[in-house]
C-alpha cells in the first residue's frame, strides 16, 4: 500500500545500495522537486551527498535564505552556495530581448554549476559518481521513459578533468506525481514554504523585468513581489492560484501624484492565474479588497512605482509570463 513512509523507506534502501561508498551531487533550484529529491538522498547517504545552489541574483526575496538556512536545518545536507549575482548582471548588461536573456542565464548557470561541481570532484574523498535529479513521473512519460546517464559537457577547461563528465543518475521521484512529491517532502520535514511552493521560472526575475535587468530594478521588483505574495498568503489564496507573476515594466513610465507632488514612475503588473498544467490558464478573479491592499502597499512602499495594473488575459492568447 502506498504511504509516504513506504516510499521513503524503499527509496532510502535503493539509494544506499546504489551509491555504496561513492559520492553524489545535486543541484538545488529552490523548487519543490529538487528539494525533495535532495532531502530523500540526504536521508539515505548523509554527507556523501553535496548539494549545489547557484544564486544567480534573480531569486525572489527570502528564497536563497530559505535554501541556505531552512532547507539545510531540515535536512542537515552539505550545501555549497555559489554567489554569482554579479556575474549574471554583467552577462545580462544591455540585454532586453526575452529569449536572449533566457539563453544567457541558462549558459551562465551551467558554467557556474560545472565549476562548483569540478571543485567538489577535486575534493579529497570518494569518487563522485552520481547526479541527483528531481525528475517526476510526468517528465518521464513526456520524454519517452528513458533513463541512464547524464552527459555533462565541460564548456571550459577545469584543471585536469576529462572533457566529458559522466554521471549515473539518481531519480528518486520518477514514479511520483507532484502532489505525492509534496507529501513526501512534508514527511521528510521540509519547510512548508518549500513544499507548497508555486511554480517559478528558472530564469527567475530576469524575465519579469520587461527591459534591461539591473540591480536597482531587481531590488524594486523583489520588494513589489514580496508585498503581493505576503497579501495573497494572508488572504489564504495560495492554493487557489497557480502562480502570480509580478512584472516590472521598466521601460514604461507614467505620471502620478504621490506625497508632495508629481512623480514619473514605473507600473507593476499583477498576473494571477489559475491553471492545471500551465499549458492553458485563466486569469484569477481575486477579491477586490486583496487587490486594493496590494496596490496601496506597493505604491506606498516601493520607490519609483506609482501604478499597479491587473492583467486580465487568459492563456491563450497571453502566456503566463510576460517574457
Ligand-binding annotation for 143, yes or no, is: no
Query: How many residues of this chain interact with ligand XMP, rule: CB under 6 A?
Result: 11
- In angstroms, give the least distance from the CB of 158 to ligand XMP: 26
203 binds ligand XMP (CB under 6 A): yes
The angle subtended at Cα 69 by Cα 66 and Cα 74, nearest 5°, is: 95
Q: Which phi and psi (to 5°) does residue 189 adopt?
A: 85, 20
The residue from 20, 76, 138, 199 that contacts ligand XMP (CB under 6 A) is 199
Q: Which of 253, 246, 241 is nearest to 297 (CA)?
A: 246
Cβ closer to ligand XMP: 44 or 104?
Answer: 104
Binding mask 257-296 toward ligand XMP (x if CB under 6 A, else -) reads ---------------------x------------------
HEC per residue, 114-150? HHHHHHHHHCCCCCEEEEECCCCHHHHHHCCCCCCEE
Buried b / exposed e over 205-236, threshold 16 CB at 10 Å, is bbbbbbeebeeebbebbbbbbbbbbebbeebe
Burial class, 47, CB count within 10 angstroms (exposed 0-12 / middle 13-18 / buried 19+): exposed
- For ligand XMP, the closer CB: 214 or 275: 275
Q: How far is the CB of 31 from ligand XMP (least distance, A)?
A: 9
d(C-alpha 319, C-alpha 202), whole Å: 16
Gyration radius from the chain CA atoms: 21
Known binder of ligand: residue 164?
Answer: no
Say if strands 282-283 and 209-210 run parallel, antiparallel, or are unpaired: unpaired
Smaller CB distance to ligand XMP: residue 107 or 303?
Answer: 107
* Residues in 90-149 at the binding interface with ligand XMP, rule: CB under 6 A: 102
Q: How far is the CB of 30 from ligand XMP (least distance, A)?
A: 11
66 close to 193: Cβ distance less than 8 angstroms: yes
Least gap, CB of 202 to ligand XMP (angstroms): 3
Does the bond joining 94 to the residue before it have cis omega, within 30 degrees of 0?
A: no
Q: Which of 202, 253, 309, 314 binds ligand XMP (CB under 6 A)?
A: 202
**Per CB under 6 A, 319 contacts ligand XMP:** yes
Is 218 among the residues that bind ligand XMP (CB under 6 A)? no
Is 191 a binding residue for ligand XMP by CB under 6 A? The answer is no
Q: Does residue number 206 form part of the binding site for ligand XMP (CB under 6 A)?
A: no
From the list 5-13, 130-138, 194-202, 300-308, the region that binds ligand XMP by CB under 6 A is 194-202
Give the residue among 31, 25, 26 at the shortest CA–CA distance from 204: 31
Q: Is 5 annotated as a binding residue?
A: no
Mark the binding-site residues for ATP, compressed into ranges: 29-35
Amino acid at each position: 500500500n502506498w504511504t509516504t513512509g513506504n516510499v521513503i523507506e524503499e527509496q532510502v534502501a535503493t539509494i544506499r545500495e546504489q551509491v555504496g561508498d561513492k559520492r553524489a551531487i545535486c543541484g538545488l533550484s529552490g523548487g519543490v522537486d529538487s528539494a525533495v529529491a535532495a532531502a530523500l538522498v540526504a536521508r539515505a547517504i548523509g554527507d556523501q551527498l553535496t548539494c549545489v545552489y547557484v544564486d544567480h541574483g534573480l531569486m525572489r526575496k527570502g528564497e536563497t535564505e530559505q535554501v541556505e538556512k531552512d532547507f539545510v536545518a531540515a535536512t542537515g545536507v552539505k550545501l555549497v552556495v555559489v554567489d554569482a549575482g554579479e556575474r549574471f548582471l554583467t552577462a545580462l548588461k544591455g540585454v532586453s530581448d526575452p529569449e536572449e536573456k533566457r539563453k544567457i542565464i541558462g549558459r551562465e548557470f551551467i558554467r557556474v554549476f560545472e565549476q562548483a561541481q569540478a571543485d567538489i570532484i577535486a575534493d579529497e574523498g570518494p569518487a563522485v559518481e552520481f547526479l541527483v535529479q528531481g525528475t517526476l513521473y510526468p517528465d518521464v512519460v513526456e520524454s519517452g521513459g528513458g533513463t541512464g546517464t547524464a552527459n555533462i559537457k565541460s564548456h571550459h577547461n577545469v584543471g585536469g578533468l576529462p572533457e566529458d563528465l559522466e554521471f549515473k543518475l539518481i531519480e528518486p521521484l520518477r514514479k511520483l506525481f507532484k502532489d505525492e512529491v509534496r507529501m513526501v517532502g512534508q514527511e521528510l520535514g521540509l519547510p512548508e514554504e518549500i513544499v507548497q511552493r508555486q511554480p517559478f521560472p528558472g530564469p527567475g526575475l530576469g524575465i519579469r523585468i520587461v527591459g534591461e535587468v539591473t540591480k536597482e530594478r531587481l531590488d524594486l521588483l523583489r520588494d513589489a513581489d514580496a508585498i503581493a505574495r505576503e497579501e495573497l498568503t494572508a488572504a489564504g489564496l495560495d492554493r487557489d492560484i497557480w502562480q502570480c507573476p509580478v512584472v516590472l515594466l521598466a521601460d514604461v513610465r507614467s505620471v502620478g501624484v504621490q506625497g508632495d507632488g508629481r512623480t514619473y514612475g514605473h507600473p507593476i503588473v499583477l498576473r494571477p492565474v489559475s491553471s492545471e498544467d500551465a499549458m492553458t490558464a485563466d486569469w484569477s478573479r481575486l477579491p477586490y479588497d486583496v487587490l486594493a491592499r496590494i496596490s496601496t502597499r506597493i505604491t506606498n512602499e516601493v520607490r519609483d512605482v506609482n501604478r499597479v495594473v491587473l492583467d486580465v488575459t487568459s492563456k491563450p492568447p497571453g502566456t503566463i509570463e510576460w517574457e
